[in-house]
Amino acid sequence: MTRFVVGMVKRLLMRNCIRLAIVAGMAWPHVNAALAEDAAGSGQNPSAAPHEHTNKLIDSNDPYLLLHAHNPVDWYPWGPEAFAKAKRENKPIFLSIGYSTCFWCHVAERTIYSNPEIAKLMNQWFINVKVDSEERPDVDRIYMLAREIMTGGGGWPNNLFLTPDLKPFYAGSYFPPKDDPRAGPGFPTILAALNQAWSSDRAKLLGVGENVMTALHRLQSAMSGHGTAPVDPAAWLAKARDKLLSQFDPLQGGLADRSGTKFPNAPRLALLLTDYQLNRTPNALSSVLTTLDAIAFGGIHDQLAGGFHRYSTEPSWSVPHFEKMLYDNAQLLQLYSTAFQLAKKPLYREIALETARYLAKDMMAPEGGFYTARDAQLDGAEGAGYLWTHGEIVSILGAKEAERFLSVYGLTPLPRSDVPDIAHPQSVNGEPPAILRLRVPIDQTLKDVGFNDTAGMLAAFASDRAALMAVREKRPQPARDEKMVVALNGLTIAALAESGRILDQPEFVGWAKAAADRLWSLAFNQRTGTLQHEVFRGQAQTDGFLQDYASLGSAFMALLDVTGEKIWQKRAAELADQMLGRFGRPDGSFLTTHTENGVLIAIGDEGDLEMPSGTSMAIDLLLRLYKASSEARHLTAATNAVRQLSGEFQDRPGAWASAITTLNRFPLPSSRESAAVANATTGINPPGDLRELASADHVQVAASVKSVPDGDAIVVTVRVDDNFHINANPASYDFLIPTALEFKGVKPANVEYPKSVRFTSRFAPEGLDVYEGSIAIVATFPKGSLQGIDAIQGAVTAQACTKLICLPPSTLPISIAVKEK
């Protein structure tokens, strides 16, 4: 859907966009010449003193922002101080979004932001704002969408230039420190060009900002206006399975990508495993097993320490991007455990055990909880901490054992990039470093060394791997991002709890419980009911997002399933109540960020990408709670969310793999069961046939016709049951369904809706315009326009809501006998 809307608005932007070729300096050669001379003499970082500069990021408590606290750039964190300064000085904002383990973010910090000459230009012409994408995923998402609209590309660093009111007018990723024919115009050139444009042609930049905002609003409308479809999770699962299998690489596993890059795509693999569990589709299981084998054998799998790198840069899984992310490892732990449960392959048990122990050793805080990521680079060189040469292995294992070891493990050379500004791992005695992986085809490797199964073969080489690992641990280590993000910890807690049950490893469950208890004590405020997004250095900070509440709640329910301890259900229910109050929309859908978080525009989730979305995890939490307690409020909220997204699930089930998986693992009860539960637990009386509750059960209409001086008027009386309300016309927000009166075959001259009242609740603290009790809608018709008509047919559309839930909207028919007036 995003691609469709982006394509739809490109023509709109093209009229006002400043092209990169213009920015390259065609209009300002004298500026470019001077900047090139300055850059040539400045070096990478002329500053000799380690802390010669200190900016406002020093007061933050975020590891990524602190990395930039001593840049000569006058960085500000995202917030009102920077925005007020931009407005006061009438300067554009340079917004740079990255994260601690982002390779190109480190390159930019070294080559651009540490350069005093470039920093001088940034400080003179712009207000500079740094954002950690993991601390503020809401800000990152909006401006990533803006960049995709403007350039067609994404990724980090995500750099944009904004008007003082935060509207983007120029965007890109990594900018080189000087003009380069391969990499494009240098950052000083771009700064000078945009500064001159701001001074001399500001209206054009402001126009681009307005066009981008128009595009974002259209995207918002498209994402909230996807329509509904019959709720059929089994059909959605089958459709998603068939689509994913059509994209499967039968030789090397994974989902094929035109670029050759391969990500684990854990949510989609989990969907295929669920399909096999429920439907025994042979290809679903074999595709997952082929992929898990290929990942386990490849360089994306850390063959010595365990755990997995971020993704493979080529199709064979041999050459990874070396970041190690908590969410990847948590999901792959769960996948290998579940695959072992289904396929009984000893290799999968060993990989799962190894991955859990890697998490405990390298990513777990001493007091409990899990860190976010391990960096890809060391001193600017990608993968430097993980690479080996043939000579190094011989020197450690000895010639004979090294020959035996290297008959099982191969060394894949790390491709050397000619892109400027990239450091490369150093050769050892003239030998280029390489990536360790298992040799394939694995059947031939087993035959060559005389083993019957892979797990047994790997066990035989455990001492060799330990010897290499002991040497590797003495090397400098890539940096670790030690903030604990609640949503990512939720994934990890659930994975450890469930893998501990499957593999009979109580220790794993203990690690999960320790993390859950620590996050509950640090990140959740029991007095206010608020959950914080992250913990760093023992301090909880940043208001939690939908994904945080939902992920931690689902993790608590996983602990309930494994331990039987009711405290986890109690905590999960508290989080669910807060989640519904803070992020639930009246139509049943979810906001992803709290309405007071200061983002430019609120956009809902668009699917399950590298991990389950907040919306999918919210549905999972609600259905788990309903299964455990049979409380109707949880079922109603889940059902409403599914109904709102049913059109999306029908059209793009593969994009919502986690939601579809949940809906098949925890099926929605039938309409008859739902109504019976509602009657038993909430006191809301269901209709006599026990069909699904709808707005028509709490809204009644009646109509009459009367003469008025200039014609006729039809008065429609709408009665709303106590404790319910319906939306006013116009509704307070585009995504709400207004109360509306329509007629068939005739058109009134005017429809007058009554004055609304203001309604506030936890899901709408800013207030909504609604109707309560009995109201009248008056439609007037010109004199003589109803002559010859016996009766008029019409309908009122309304959606009934309480303080906690909204029922499905209803269309309430009316029939007016005109001749009887």
Taking residues 89-95, what's their average pLDDT? 96
Task: Decide if 165 contacts 601 (C-beta within 8 A).
Answer: no
Task: Give pLDDT tens digits for 350-381.
Answer: 999 999 999 999 999 999 999 999 998 887 78
- Where are any strands of DSSP class E within 227-367? 311-312, 320-321, 324-325
Residue 28 above 70 pLDDT? no
Task: Give pLDDT tens digits for 438-449.
Answer: 999 999 999 999
For residue 383, what pLDDT band results from cuts at 50, 70 and 90? confident
Residue 499 above 50 pLDDT? yes
Query: What is the C-alpha to C-alpha distance for residues 589 and 640, in angstroms, rounded to an integer?
Result: 7
Task: Look at 530 and 760; give whichever has higher pLDDT.
Answer: 530
Per-residue model confidence (pLDDT) at position 6: 41
Query: What is the C-alpha to C-alpha distance for residues 19 and 111, in angstroms, rounded to an integer?
Result: 24
Share of the chain above pLDDT 90, in %: 64
Taking residues 780-798, what's their average pLDDT? 85
**What DSSP designation does 262 have?**
B
Residue 29 above 60 pLDDT? no
Per-residue model confidence (pLDDT) at position 692: 46
Taking residues 303-332, what's their average pLDDT? 96
Taking residues 146-158, what's their average pLDDT? 87
Query: What is the C-alpha to C-alpha distance for residues 70 and 51, in angstroms, rounded to an integer?
Result: 6
Task: Give pLDDT tens digits for 452-469.
Answer: 999 999 999 999 999 999
Radius of gyration of the chain (CA): 30
Query: What is the C-alpha to C-alpha distance for residues 4 and 775, in angstroms, rounded to an integer?
Result: 41
Query: What is the C-alpha to C-alpha distance for residues 543 and 598, in angstroms, rounded to an integer?
Result: 11
Strand partners, 528: none
> For residue 376, which phi and psi values (nearest 5 degrees)?
-90, -25
Per mean pLDDT, which range of 155-159, 415-419, 757-761 is the poorest? 415-419
For residue 422, what pLDDT band results from cuts at 50, 70 and 90? low
Go through the domains of the chain in sequence order and give each one's CATH number: 2-224 (3.40.30.10), 250-481 (no CATH), 484-682 (1.50.10.20), 695-820 (2.60.40.1250)
For residue 348, what pLDDT band results from cuts at 50, 70 and 90? very high
Residue 804 above 80 pLDDT? no
Task: Give pLDDT tens digits for 329-345.
Answer: 999 999 999 999 999 99
Task: Give pLDDT tens digits for 36-72.
Answer: 333 333 333 333 346 789 999 999 989 899 999 999 9
Per-residue model confidence (pLDDT) at position 37: 31
Per mean pLDDT, which range of 563-567, 707-711, 729-733, 805-809 is the poorest? 805-809
Taking residues 751-766, what's their average pLDDT? 79
Task: Give pLDDT tens digits for 738-749.
Answer: 999 999 888 898
Per-residue model confidence (pLDDT) at position 684: 41
Residue 593 above 60 pLDDT? yes
Taking residues 476-485, what's their average pLDDT? 94
Taking residues 690-694, what's their average pLDDT? 48
Per DSSP bridges, beta strands 434-438 and 480-481 are unpaired
Strand partners, 798: 810
Q: Which ranges of 298-345 does DSSP label H, i.e. alpha helix? A: 326-343
Per-residue model confidence (pLDDT) at position 46: 34
For residue 723, what pLDDT band results from cuts at 50, 70 and 90? confident
Residue 142 above 70 pLDDT? yes
Number of neighbouring beta carbons within 10 Å of residue 386? 25
740-743: strand order across its sheet = 740-743, 791-798, 810-817
Per mean pLDDT, which range of 356-365, 390-399, 747-756, 758-767 is the poorest? 758-767
Taking residues 639-647, what's their average pLDDT? 93
pTM: 0.77
Task: Give pLDDT tens digits for 501-547.
Answer: 999 999 999 999 999 999 999 999 999 999 999 999 999 999 999 99
Per-residue model confidence (pLDDT) at position 423: 57
Task: Decide if 192 contacts 143 (C-beta within 8 A).
Answer: no
Query: What is the C-alpha to C-alpha distance for residues 742 and 753, in angstroms, rounded to an integer?
Result: 12
For residue 710, what pLDDT band results from cuts at 50, 70 and 90? confident
Query: What is the C-alpha to C-alpha distance for residues 423 and 413, in angstroms, rounded to an integer?
Result: 16
C-alpha 338 chain-centroid distance: 24
Number of neighbouring beta carbons within 10 Å of residue 395? 14
Per-residue model confidence (pLDDT) at position 377: 84
Taking residues 179-204, what's their average pLDDT? 89
Taking residues 164-179, what's their average pLDDT? 91
Task: Decide if 644 contacts 587 (C-beta within 8 A).
Answer: yes
127-132: strand order across its sheet = 75-77, 127-132, 93-98, 158-162, 168-172
Q: Mean pLDDT over all residues of the chain?
A: 86
Residue 18 above 50 pLDDT? no
> For residue 628, which phi and psi values (nearest 5 degrees)?
-80, -30
Query: What is the C-alpha to C-alpha distance for residues 39 and 502, in angstroms, rounded to an integer?
Result: 59
- Spatial neighbors of 72 by CB under 8 A, at least 6 apart, are 47, 52, 53, 113, 114, 115, 116, 119, 120, 123
Per-residue model confidence (pLDDT) at position 712: 84
Q: What separation in angstroms does the CA of 335 have from each of 164, 343, 553?
A: 46, 12, 20
Token pair, residue 720, equals: 């709303």
